[in-house]
Amino acid sequence: METYTLGLALEDFIPVIFSSIGLYFVSRMVTNVNARLGQMATIGWILVSVGGFLKATWKLTMALTNSQTNIVWFDKGMFMWMLVGFTLLAFSLWFVSEIRSGKRQPGRIWFGPSVVLGMSLVAILFTGFPDPTVNTWRFILLGVMTIGNVVMVVLLIQQARYNNLNKMAWLFLVNIVIVFVLSGLARIPEQTIPLQWTEQLLNTFAQGAFAYAAWKLAGAVAPASVPATGQVRV
Rounded to two decimals, what is the model's pTM?
0.90
Q: Give tens-digit pLDDT for 156-206.
A: 999 999 999 999 999 999 999 999 999 888 888 888 889 999 999 999 999
Domain locations in the chain? 6-220
Does 226 or 113 have the greater pLDDT score? 113
Q: Which CATH architecture has domain 6-220?
A: Up-down Bundle (1.20)
What is the percent of the chain where pLDDT is above 90? Answer: 69
Does 38 or 228 have the greater pLDDT score? 38
Confidence of residue 2 (pLDDT cuts 50, 70, 90): low
- Of 59, 50, 72, 17, the C-alpha closest to 197 is 59
Does 220 or 153 have the greater pLDDT score? 153
Are the C-beta atoms of 106 and 36 separated by less than 8 Å?
A: yes
Q: Give the mean pLDDT of the chain.
A: 89
Cα dihedral 52, 55, 60, 65 in deg (nearest 10): 170
Confidence of residue 104 (pLDDT cuts 50, 70, 90): low
